[in-house]
A and B are shown apart, each in its own frame.
Chain A
Amino acid sequence: NAGVMQNPRHLVRRRGQEARLRCSPMKGHSHVYWYRQLPEEGLKFMVYLQKENIIDESGMPKERFSAEFPKEGPSILRIQQVVRGDSAAYFCASSPIAGAIQETQYFGPGTRLLVL
């Protein structure tokens, strides 16, 4: 059973371009979380999705950022018109169930985004 996959692992974009980050959860997992780790800062929650639904996007910046988790295919975190402040490591995590006391999240390797 492959772990959580993220691609690309490294992404370089110029200011104003779009960045698309992909996350394939572990097989059988239908819950995906995206987290961001800014340089010299801790991890911060961005968004929680179930298949085809955004459940909690309270950590997402209001503009330029969007996320989806379609019925088929990976979850996508999309950043439009990137700025230098978007440079960070973006991690996704998946879990098979939500809310159960034994819920464990499995993290992907992250995508390091660098905006020039």
Chain B
Amino acid sequence: KNEVEQSPQNLTAQEGEFITINCSYSVGISALHWLQQHPGGGIVSLFMLSSGKKKHGRLIATINIQEKHSSLHITASHPRDSAVYICAVRGGTSYGKLTFGQGTILTVHP
């Protein structure tokens, strides 16, 4: 079993729909990252969370440390949101070594 599990692996939505991607982890962490990767492209850091909730534009990320679970929500989805979304956790080391989930492939149709 992977230390970081994401669901779903693939997600298809129509433009305007509300989207949720889930991340569960099995190790103690000091922070959790949500990353975005476009096909053939680089990686962009969307959020870093250690507790609670963060919002940036149409993106919302939440984390429940007790339940070892995080969610990434996209409101009013748009085709340009189509990408791979990756959850990554920083463990108990004193530096930022990340362990990654497998990623969720999101496709938003117009």
Interface size class of B (residues with CB under 8 A): 20 to 34
Interface bits A97-108 vs B (CB < 8 Å: 1, else 0)? 011011111111
Give the chain A neighbours of B94 by CB distance below 8 A. 98-99
The listed residue (B31, B40, B90, B100) touching A42 by CB distance below 8 A is B100
- B63 contacts the other chain (CB 8 A): no
- Assess whether A98 is in contact with B96, with CB atoms less than 8 Å apart: yes
- B55 contacts the other chain (CB 8 A): no
- A8 contacts the other chain (CB 8 A): no
In the docked arrangement, what's the CA distance between A78 and B61, Å? 37
Q: Which stretch in A15-23, A43-51, A79-87 binds the other chain?
A: A43-51
- A24 contacts the other chain (CB 8 A): no
Interface bits B75-110 vs A (CB < 8 Å: 1, else 0)? 000000000001010100111111111110000000
Give the chain B neighbours of A108 by CB distance below 8 A. 42
Interface residues of B (CB under 8 A from A): 30-31, 33, 35, 40-45, 48, 50, 86, 88, 90, 93-103
